[in-house]
Amino acid sequence: MKKLASIVVSIVLALVPMNMAFANENGTPMNISSKSAILMDVGSGQILYEKNAHDKLPPASVTKVMTMLLCVEALDSGKIKLEDKVQISDTAASMGGSQIFLEPGETQDVNSLLKGIAVASANDACVAMAEYVAGSVEGFVDNMNAKAKELGMKDTHFANTNGLPVDNHYTSAYDIALMSRELLKHESITKYLTTWMDQVVVGKKQVTVGLANTNKMVKHYQGTTGVKTGFTQEAKYCLSASAKRGDTHLVSATLGAETSPERFKDASNLLNFGFANYESVKLCSKDDNIATLTLDKAEDNKVNLVAKENLTVLIKKGGNKDFTRRIKVSENPNIPIKKGTVLGQVEVYQGKKMVGKVDLVNTKDINKASYLQMLQRVIDSML
C-alpha cells in the first residue's frame, strides 16, 4: 500500500470501561477440567481466559476446522461450487473412524461432502474434498500448514486432513481459536455447523445415511454457531465451540478432557463467563461506506471505500468510555486498481492503545481516465 494519510475522529459512545486483562488475573471464574483451554472474542481476537493455551497437543477431529476453512475459501472464491460432482477415490473410501460410508468410484456433490464433514465429522469426506480442492491429500495438507502460518498459528503442524492419529500432527487451544474465528467469518458455513440432524445418500445402491451433529451444544446451548468436536484415545475429548448473543460472538477451545460431558461443561462455563462479563460493540459493519478517496487520474475520480469486514470492540460491562477512530487512506495509489484492493484502514484507539482495526477496500474496479476526461477536468478547474 502507498503512504497513508490519516484522519482522526473522536467518537464518544455510551460504553462500558475497557478491560483487556485475562479473566484469570482476577481469580479463575470457573473450574476448567480440560488439559488446555481458551476463550476468545471472535470479533476482536481478544483473549478472555486461558489455561495452558499454547501447549502443543493432538486435536483429533477439531483438525477439520482447518479442512472446512480451506473448502469454504475455495467456494467463496469460485474455485469450486456446491453442485460440483466429486469422484470418490479408493483412498477416501478407505478412511476409518467417523464416516458417511463413501464407496470407491461413486460421485458426490460438494454440498453433501461438506455436510458430512461439518455435521458427522466424516473422515472419508475430508479426504474426498482434499483431493478435489488441491488435487491430492498431500497438496491439501501443505495448504493447511500454509494457512496456519498465515493466521499466526505458531503451535501447529498438520499431517492429515481429519485428525486421525499420526506423528507430527498437533495444535494448541490458542491456534484452534484462531482458525475457528477465521472459519466463522464465512457466513456460508453457518448452516452446516448448526445443523442438528440431516441425511445424505451414498454408495452405488443409494443408501440413505442419517447424520447427527457431534457438537451437542448445537441443540443445548443458546446462540450456538459451531464449530467442531474431536476424540481419539491419545487426544481425549476436544472441542471448539462458538456462540453469539447480540453482537457478542465468542469461541472457546478445550483440549484433553477426560470425558465428553466434561468438554461440553468446560465450553459452556467459558462461554457463560464471557457473556456474563463482556459485550461487543459494533463500530462499523462490513460494506459500510467509511471514506471517499479522490483520484484525479481515475475514470471515476471519487472512489468510495468500505469496511472489508465488521469492526467490533469488546468491552467489560460497566460505565462509559471514549474512543478515537483514525481513518487512513492511500495517497496516490497506482491505477488501474482491482475491486476489493486494500486502500485504507480504520483504527480504533482507547487512549494511546489501539483496540481494533479494519481494512478499507474499493467496491469496483478503478480504471485510468481517458485523455479527453483529463482535458475536461483541466477546463472545469479553470472555469
Please pick, among 34, 36, 44, 61, the residue that the annotation labels catalytic.
61
Cβ(34)–Cβ(255) below 8 Å: yes
Q: Residues 6 or more apart from 293 whose CB is under 8 A from it?
A: 302, 303, 304, 305, 329, 330, 343, 344, 362
Residue 99 one-letter amino acid: Q
- Among 121, 180, 240, 280, the active-site one is 121
Residue 200: which residues within 8 A CB-CB, separation 6 or more?
100, 108, 112, 115, 116, 208, 209, 211
The CA radius of gyration of the chain, in Å to the nearest whole number, is 23
Point out the catalytic residue in the list 34, 36, 44, 64: 64
Q: DSSP assignment of 282-347, as one string?
A: EEE-TT-EEEEEE-TTBSSSEEEEEESS-EEEEEESSS-EEEEEEEEEESS--SSB-TT-EEEEEE
Q: Determine the Cα–Cα distance for residues 236 and 283; give it in Å rounded to an integer.
A: 40
Is there a catalytic annotation at residue 149?
no
**121 catalytically annotated:** yes
Amino acid at 70: L
Cβ atoms of 198 and 191 closer than 8 Å: no
Q: How far apart are CA 383 and CA 380, in angstroms?
A: 5
Provide the total of helices (H) and of strands (E) in the chain, helices listed first. 10, 17
Q: What DSSP string runs through 162-185? A: S--S-TT-BB-HHHHHHHHHHHHT
Cell of 104: 470407491
98 is catalytic: no
Q: Where are the alpha helices (DSSP H) in the chain?
A: 64-77, 90-93, 110-120, 123-134, 137-150, 173-184, 190-193, 217-220, 260-277, 371-382
Per the document, the length of the chain is 383
Catalytic residues: 61, 64, 121
